[in-house]
Structure 1
Amino acid sequence: MFDEPTIAWLGEEDPIFGINRIMLIRLISATAIILIFVLGTRRMRLVPTRGQSLVEMGLGFVRDGIAYDLLGEKDGRRFLPLITTIFFMVLSMNVTGIIPFFNIAGTSVIGVPLLLALIAYVAFIYAGVKKHPGAFFKNALFPPGVPWPLYIIVTPIEFVSTFVLRPITLTLRLMMNMVVGHLLLVLFFSATHFFFFSAGGLYTLFGAGTLALGFAFTLFELLVAVLQAYVFALLTTVYIQLALAEEH
């Protein structure tokens, strides 16, 4: 399903560079979100236009609802560019799953979710080391107040949960949600095509049902696209907040 044919390349007989459909969708998504922000902020006005208002609303949501709310104004301002980029990048690539002729999310293949999870992981490590040099890893692996014999059990658990599972869960949560949504839409609309054009007769009624479910799940998939962007940005911020916590 995700093994897309190469649709553009350099080198005629022995291609050295190729772009398949999922990569093209990602490039279009990134270009679209950049253009939206460039055009929306190119001529800022005291009385904003509709485009400027939408851009300001989106930026304000990430700033006040995620970054400043969890990190405070000082640290929130430091990490706001990263959190904003992650939110809108995930959102733009999630939404392509319900856009006609795209029909697949740019985050439904592991590359982008893994890259963003690694960036969030690096930001988490950077924030902790910057705020608590020399003590971040020690306090993360050897939590204060634990009787020393228990470190034999606690330290491996802390290492796996803090430094291994976090990027893995970030990656899989985003990717699998978008894959499942894609499969559900494929299932409903494929069934609709079958009932309408192949089965015929009374089976057309089933086609009407699967078509209605397909549209309903398309709206639900839009909600999931926004929610997953929010969750990814929120968890990134939470990890940074934990790294900056005083107990580290």
Structure 2
Amino acid sequence: MSATATAAGLIVPMAEDSHFPPTPGDFWQPLFAIPGTDYYFTRPMLLLAIATVVLMAWLWLTTRRAAIVPSKSQWVTEQVYNFARNGVARDMIGSKDFLPFVPFIFSLFTFILLNNLFGIIPPFQNPTMARVGFPIALTLIVYVVYHWVGIRKQGGVGKYLGSLLPGGLPGWIKPFILLLELITFFITRPLTLALRLFGNMFAGHMLLVVFIIGGWYLFKTYDPALMAVAIPAWILGVALTAFEGLVQFLQAYVFALLAASYIGGALADEH
């Protein structure tokens, strides 16, 4: 039984073959093999598809009859959009250049947020971004966008790379600074962007699973003392679930914020 399914032990009866403590291998949840290949369609892939459909339906249903005086659903959508537009894109990219990138930043924020929240929403209870391949894919998109923007802004690859160097540097130190800048822009930024999101979602979900499953294992010992300890473990699990919801929002916000920051830096006259 998977760790995610086991974490739902308070809602769905637990199987006898569930185990404790959970391991990273529990996040591998294949649903079926793709015919003729060695690849599998996994539960996180299904959740990713569900998130895409839910977001499409949400945007269509709340904007199909858009009016100057908005309905409640339209107002909610507008608040989320305005948060991404004004609180992220305009603040980080600048009021001059931000508008073309608002749909991209809005899409990143809402898509990551919903997939993160799947970690605490029954019956999903699996944050998609806890599988490292998904944050890497999103990071690659951001990576291509901000480098493409910078190359177009500077008028070519050579000029773009040259713009990474601050002005006024002695000639002998420029190769060293350029090397550091190349490592930062082409390796460190994408690596930390992906791993930050993955690490927080993975660690948070593992923590919830530990408290919920751990409480169950204590409870089913039928030792009165250990059963008494299980109750605080479950209470703490509920509290951590609320805290995890905050972390999931913050990680979506930080990812969108950094993506906008990188785009803003690429558009700046000087890096």
Question: What TM-score range do you get, normalising by the shorter chain?
Answer: over 0.9
Matches for 1:120-135 after TM superposition, within 5 Å: 120-134=142-156, 135=159
2:205 maps to which of 182, 189, 194: 182
1:143 maps to which of 166, 173, 176: 166
Identify the residue that residue 103 of structure 1 maps to in structure 2.
Answer: 125
Identify the residue that residue 19 of structure 2 maps to in structure 1.
Answer: none
| 2:42 equivalent to 1:20 | yes
Of residues 73-82 and 224-233 in structure 1, the stretch that sits farther from structure 2 once superposed is 73-82
Cα deviation 1:173-228 (Å, max 9, x = unaligned) = 00000000010000000111112223431222211111111011100110011100
| 2:30 equivalent to 1:5 | yes
Identify the residue that residue 265 of structure 2 maps to in structure 1.
Answer: 242
The letter of the residue matching 1:136 is Y
1:72 maps to which of 75, 94, 107: 94
Asked if 1 retains the 8 angstrom alpha-carbon contact of 2:93 and 2:265, the reply is: no
Of residues 66-75 and 56-65 in structure 1, the stretch that sits farther from structure 2 once superposed is 66-75
How far apart are 1:44 and its partner, in Å? 0.9
The letter of the residue matching 1:194 is Y
Give the structure with the larger helix fraction.
1
Cα deviation 1:62-98 (Å, max 9, x = unaligned) = 0010111222334111111111111111101100011
How far apart are 1:123 and its partner, in Å? 1.2
The letter of the residue matching 1:138 is G
Identify the residue that residue 203 of structure 1 maps to in structure 2.
Answer: 226
| 2:185 equivalent to 1:162 | yes
CA distance in 2, matches of 1:138, 1:58: 38
The total of aligned residue pairs comes to 244
The letter of the residue matching 2:150 is G
Percent identical = 36
Q: CA distance change for structure 1 residues 39 and 17 in 2, over 3 Å: closer, same or farther?
A: farther
CA distance in 2, matches of 1:91, 1:5: 23
Q: CA RMSD in A?
A: 1.6
The letter of the residue matching 2:28 is D
Using structure 1 for the length normalisation, give the TM-score: 0.93
How far apart are 1:131 and its partner, in Å? 1.3
Asked if 2 retains the 8 angstrom alpha-carbon contact of 1:30 and 1:92, the reply is: no
Using structure 2 for the length normalisation, give the TM-score: 0.85
Identify the residue that residue 35 of structure 1 maps to in structure 2.
Answer: 57
Unaligned 5+ segments in structure 1 are none
| 2:67 equivalent to 1:48 | no
CA distance in 2, matches of 1:99, 1:218: 10
CA distance in 2, matches of 1:239, 1:106: 24
How far apart are 1:38 and its partner, in Å? 1.1
CA distance in 2, matches of 1:131, 1:26: 34
Q: CA distance change for structure 1 residues 30 and 44 in 2, over 3 Å: closer, same or farther?
A: same
Asked if 1 retains the 8 angstrom alpha-carbon contact of 2:30 and 2:40, the reply is: no
